[in-house]
Amino acid sequence: MTSQELSRDLRVVAWNLWELRGDLEAMAEAIEDLDPDVLLIQEAPRFVLPTARLAWFARRIGRRVLVGGAGGRGLAILATDDVAAQVIRRGMHPVQQTISDLNSTYPRGVAAVRVSVPGGGAVVLSSIHLALQEDNRLRHAEHIARLVRSAGAPVIVGGDLNEEASGKARTLLAPYVHDPAPQSEHTFPAKGPVRRIDAILVTEGVQVREARAVRSTESVSEERLAGASDHLPTLLDVTL
């Protein structure tokens, strides 16, 4: 078996979907243009038939729900049929928070799947949404660091991090995972982005071919994409 047969190209997109309150057609068209193997979602629907609405959206973009729906803490992982067929394990881990204000009541967690890759290896893909409060982000980062240390496989973790690379939670995670995209690839706010607070982080050993924020796609202009969510999607192409 050749080295090419033992490798796999994977496209991952992470996106805060704003609980599907924006331009759904622009959102769906953009995802269809990007054609990710795995979609890491934050702010998936949490109220009013969350499982049904997430399933409807997955069908609309031709993907399967691996993790998410009712009790999903606003996180979800969607994937192609090909990736779904290779899933070894999947799960959702809650992350406890200190309640200090109304924003800190938003439930936080880690959604993750373990997927087999050619040659008998595996990769862990995770969706996260860090808190607005620094102490809660640090607690969440500690949870993610434990996940990475115990994974026994390359890890790709992406989402809305609510802080830039210089933040304390990102600094805590730096020995374990890094953002391969330039920090100038801003993602927030979608209308005139000036900060990179959304990213897909990877462990050492993941061969990155491209990493960037998405400002527009083939059929979705910058203006339309900015109306789909208050965050821009971020994209990662890797070879495993």
* Omega prior to 182 cis, within 30 of 0: no
Q: 122: which 2 tokens?
A: 């595996």
Question: What's the pLDDT band for 2 if we cut at 50, 70, 90?
Answer: very low
| Domains of the chain from N-terminus onward | 9-239 (3.60.10.10)
- Other beta carbons less than 10 A from residue 205's beta carbon: 9
Sheet with 198-202, strands from edge to edge, namely: 87-95, 108-116, 122-129, 155-160, 198-202
pLDDT tens digits, residue range 170-229?
A: 999 999 999 999 999 999 999 999 999 999 999 998 999 999 999 999 999 999 999 999
Say which residue the tokens 């309150």 belong to: 21
pLDDT in tens, 77-112: 999 999 999 999 999 999 999 999 888 999 999 999
The order of strands in the sheet holding 207-213 is: 64-67, 76-79, 38-42, 9-16, 234-239, 207-213
Q: Tell me the pLDDT tens digit for each residue of 220-235.
A: 999 999 999 999 999 9
DSSP-assigned states of every residue in 148-181:
HHH-SS-EEEEEE-SS-TTSHHHHHHTTT-B--S
